[in-house]
Chain A
């Protein structure tokens, strides 16, 4: 596919759908986020499987993270992560200064409270990708100024 527009539109529709079913009152916000996250998880797993088909074995955790920041991010969002930080104790922070799914939305504070919706799927994506490389993790995201955002990855020790 020569184009990323279909994915973005589809992603928007997925959000629409998940949140509309919530308006009928059955589910709360946490459930919705979880649903999106789970969908992302499955997609992340599949993508990673396809992406690492021909790659050499990873040396260590950091090597895996670098792969996520460079190749995986480029594959999904057409750019690399701008900043990767770690405390060397299982916590990694990935910063994207112009996150693709937010960049169409706003470059200020206007829709800040809507932002978490747009990140849940991607959190799942990263978690799924890592899980397929044998790394169990918790991924959360935060936005302070759109369209920049940070993904925090906490590695769960087996």
Chain B
């Protein structure tokens, strides 16, 4: 019992480490299973997509956020609410394209890579590809087709991690008439 006192406070942090480590174990396994990094990236992205299409429901149910009016609002919700809720960080939104259909998320510290060092022979591995898939999948479920990719990655020597998001098109709704 005496041992318990000082630890309750960082249980949140521990939980993120559980996620980080589990993700690490997954990437390790994928690297064993596939021969080249491209395949691993693709697989991670696919798994992320599968997570995203489910995570969006959890997100909408809990955040009580309605439909976004434009892409700028979407960017804000992603950075300030979604990232905060699930990863405990708030990326900054920058580098808007003049047309307002493209922006960057700058992650100061990416929780997925907390204990990671990339070995030299995995130079083309995009370690956090999962995130791209999650964003793509989640947005697709709210009728937005978006292209997501990593533009910079601290794991590969860049000073920040940058996720570039580009709006492609609105997905037409096929709801039956009168169904909202």
Contacts and interface: CB of A to CB of B under 8 A. Distances in A.
A14 B15 CA distance: 18
B14 A3 contact: no
B17 interface: yes
Contacts of B3: 55-56, 67, 71
A75 B14 contact: yes
A11 B22 contact: yes
A107 B33 CA distance: 35
Nearest to A51: B14
B82 to A, nearest CB: 11
A11 B22 CA distance: 8
Interface residues of B, number: 38
B152 interface: no
Interface in B1-31: 2-4, 6-7, 11-19, 21-26, 28-30
Secondary structure of the A side of the interface?
A: helix
Given A10-B26, A42-B25, A56-B3, A17 B47 contact: yes
A75 B55 contact: no
Interface string A88-110: 00000000000000000000000
Contact of A1 (B15, B33, B47, B51): B15
A26 to B, nearest CB: 10
Given A7-B22, A16-B50, A76-B15, 9 more contacts: A3-B86, A6-B51, A7-B18, A9-B55, A17-B26, A17-B30, A47-B17, A50-B14, A78-B15
